Amino acid sequence: MNAPRTVRTLDRIVSLCDYEDFCRTYAGIGKARAVEMPLSGDSIIHITVLSSTGDDVSDKKLNALNGEIEASRDSTVPFIVDNGIIRQVTLSAWLIIDDRYEFDTVAKECCDSLVSGFSFENRSFGQGIDADDIIRVLHDHEAVTAVDIDALALAGSTQANGIESYVEAPGARAISGMTYTGAVLLVMPKIGIELKRRMPAIKT
């Protein structure tokens, strides 16, 4: 449960963490990330947000949030609030399992673990996905003895049929002038996961 906004920010917004805490405790906001970025020799505070359901925050609510932030801070550094971007990651991997287990059951349980571990609720803006993290999640299942990832990439990217050891989640960036794009939050939905069985090598 979120702490009261007055406790989290002591009534005034000072640090980048204060901006994030203020937004996260604002009704309907689920994720927030604040960074300081250069602006014409000076700086601007960019805040990326998404709703608690992972959807864009409405323009009406963004305007209201802007007003409350302005009223709760003393800084003259300009700030801007943008919606974030959710990008899906696809995965294809081979599993070798203990033959005492049913593969279909193991694959479903591993898939559920990946979906949960790399869900909107458990991810942050700018947090990439590392192949080693995926392997650790899969190896948490007692039946899995080996993992071989053969495809890991952003859904729809030119690398979708290849493997990247790390999928980056870009932060907020300037497009031109005062136009910015929000930070990316990576998720791994069930539809993008393919787990296949590989039989262990036969010992001779």
Vertex 166 angle, CA 161 and 171, to 5°: 110
Site of tokens 């081979």: 94
Torsion angles phi and psi, residue 183, rounded to 5:
-70, 160
Rounded distance between C-alpha atoms, residue 52 and residue 133, angstroms? 25
Locus of tokens 């458990």 = 122
Question: And the tokens for 113?
Answer: 């673990």
Q: What is the pTM assigned to this prediction?
A: 0.89
- In Å, how far are 29, 34, 91, 127, 157 from 162, measured between CA atoms? 35, 33, 10, 21, 10
Contact 194, 134 (CB under 8 A): no
pLDDT of residue 159: 57
Instruction: Answer whether residue 185 shows pLDDT above 70.
Output: yes
Q: What is the CA radius of gyration of the chain?
A: 21
**CB contact burial 34-51 (16+ within 10 A = b; e otherwise):** bbeeebeeeebbbbbbbb
pLDDT surpassing 70 at residue 138: yes
- Return the percentage of the chain with pLDDT > 90, whole number: 80
Q: pLDDT digits over 140-151, tens only?
A: 999 999 999 999
Residues 6+ apart with CB under 8 A from 56: 50, 83
Q: Which two tokens stand for residue 195?
A: 């787990």
Q: Is the pLDDT of residue 163 over 70?
A: no
Predicted confidence (pLDDT) per residue in 4-17, tens digit:
444 444 578 999 99
Tokens found for residue 22: 């203020």
CB 171 within 8 A of CB 82: no
How far is it, in rounded angstroms, from Cα 53 to Cα 40?
A: 35
The pLDDT of residue 160 is above 70: no
pLDDT in tens, 10-66: 578 999 999 999 999 999 999 999 999 988 788 999 999 999 999 999 999 999 999
Q: Mean pLDDT over residues 159-172, rounded?
A: 79
